[in-house]
Amino acid sequence: MTIRRVVVKVGSSTLTGGSGGLDEAYLEDLVRELARARERGVEVLLVTSGAIAAGAARIGLGRPSTIPEKQAAAAVGQGLLMGHYIQAFSRRRLAAAQVLLTREDISSRQRYLNARNTLFTLLRIGAVPVINENDAVAIDEIRVGENDTLAALVAALVEADLLLLLSDVEGLLDADGCLIPEVPDIAAVLHLAGGPGSGVGSGGMVTKLQAARIAARCGTATVIAHGRRDGVLGELLEGRAVGTFFPPSAHRLRGRKRWIAFCARPRGVLVVNEGARRSLLENGGSLLPAGIVAVQGRFSAGNLVRIQDEHGQELARGLANYADKEVAAILGLHTDQVAERLGACDFEEVVHRDNLVLVS
């Protein structure tokens, strides 16, 4: 596999080494490794946690537990964290560029494209984007593992060849504690990540597998490896086997469908009958009014909706051509009856297949 662009994600536990405050020596080693990758002609983006940990250590907050405490710690710590990165990269004649994102920046199509343009421009001018969630203002984003998801979304955004998730374990381990070198089917190993009903796995592994799934569907390979392993990125660039490897999907999403599948936030739900379910899954068809049996939530035309069967199983996501009240008025109708009910028929489909992505 040729690696021209890589997204590296490092978490708070790896950055602090369990000490609470930032491990500046480790941060220096990490930047040195990223700089070496740049010398090899590889474009590098870093997704980093650590702002809350750095801020809490500086102001003596201990382990912040409430949202306001975490946001206050992040406000103090983000500058400290970025200051360390700026100095470390500067010593290697590289410019570190701070990029703070929230989920809303990615959910909005326009802001998503703006973020994409900014990141590509930074790469073009030779800077190293250092990306973190904007924890000082975000609420939903401050929870364990969210930066794994952010890293996968960034990898999709910039069409990275590799997503490297640095962890505090060697990779995904089997029930006997042995490293699994490669995982072609993520669904088959979810039980090893400490999910519901399982006592096996390490903290944060579930979100790493979810991140690997997002990356795979967007055409990016993922490696989960120990963040304290010296030279891990260099080994990967040399083609050596390190950690657990997740290959990209053969049926990868492209362009706007990546945003539909993983970035935009659903505003409502369309429940479909068995005929529509088969049409979506087996024929790749559009969703017509006749196949809809119920509408949930409030949404406008152009908003993202979930499409699920009558048992509550999510089948797909797509952009609705009609608002919720309009869909409620025409559900179950044949296409030639829509104009009579609404006064006009602007679209034959409630969700066109070009704006629809299967989630299975």
pLDDT, tens digit (0-9, with 9 covering 90-100), for 121-147 = 999 999 999 999 876 666 654 443 478
Share above pLDDT 90 across residues of the chain, in percent, rounded to a whole number: 72
Per residue in 168-187, pLDDT (tens digit) is: 999 999 999 999 999 999 98
| Residue where a domain terminates, one of 238, 257, 276 | 257
- Which of 16, 24, 40, 154 lies closest to 91 in space, CA to CA? 24
Residue 243: helix, strand or coil by DSSP?
Answer: coil
Shared domain check, 109 and 86 = yes
> Residue 203: what pLDDT?
43
Phi, psi of 23 (to 5 degrees): -90, 95
More confident residue, 302 or 69: 302
| Residue where a domain terminates, one of 222, 239, 257 | 257
> Residue 62: what pLDDT?
79
Shared domain check, 286 and 180 = no
Range of the domain at 280: 266-358
Per residue in 78-114, pLDDT (tens digit) is: 999 999 999 999 999 999 999 998 877 888 899 999 9
Shared domain check, 212 and 155 = yes
> Residue 144: what pLDDT?
36
Average pLDDT over residues 163-167: 96
Provide the pLDDT confidence category of residue 260 given band limits of 50, 70 and 90.
Answer: very high
Report how far residue 47's alpha carbon sits from residue 137's, in angstroms, rounded to the nearest whole number: 18
Shared domain check, 59 and 21 = yes
Per residue in 9-29, pLDDT (tens digit) is: 999 889 988 777 889 999 999
Provide the pLDDT confidence category of residue 196 given band limits of 50, 70 and 90.
Answer: very low
Shared domain check, 316 and 187 = no
Average pLDDT over residues 40-68: 89
Shared domain check, 280 and 234 = no
Provide the pLDDT confidence category of residue 69 given band limits of 50, 70 and 90.
Answer: confident
Above 50 in pLDDT, residue 199? Answer: no
Average pLDDT over residues 134-161: 78
| Residue where a domain terminates, one of 257, 290, 309 | 257
Provide the pLDDT confidence category of residue 360 given band limits of 50, 70 and 90.
Answer: low
Domains held by the chain: number? 2
Provide the pLDDT confidence category of residue 201 given band limits of 50, 70 and 90.
Answer: very low
Locus of tokens 């790749």: 284
> Residue 255: what pLDDT?
85
Note whether 52 and 73 are within 8 A (CB).
Answer: yes
Shared domain check, 17 and 149 = yes
Shared domain check, 221 and 274 = no
Shared domain check, 346 and 197 = no
Shared domain check, 288 and 182 = no
Share above pLDDT 70 across residues of the chain, in percent, rounded to a whole number: 94
Above 50 in pLDDT, residue 198? Answer: no
Report how far residue 31's alpha carbon sits from residue 77's, in angstroms, rounded to the nearest whole number: 19
DSSP state letters, 256-300: HHHIIIIISPP-EEEEE-HHHHHHHHHH-PPBPGGGEEEEEE---
Shared domain check, 240 and 290 = no
Q: What CATH number did the domain enclosing 80 receive?
A: 3.40.1160.10
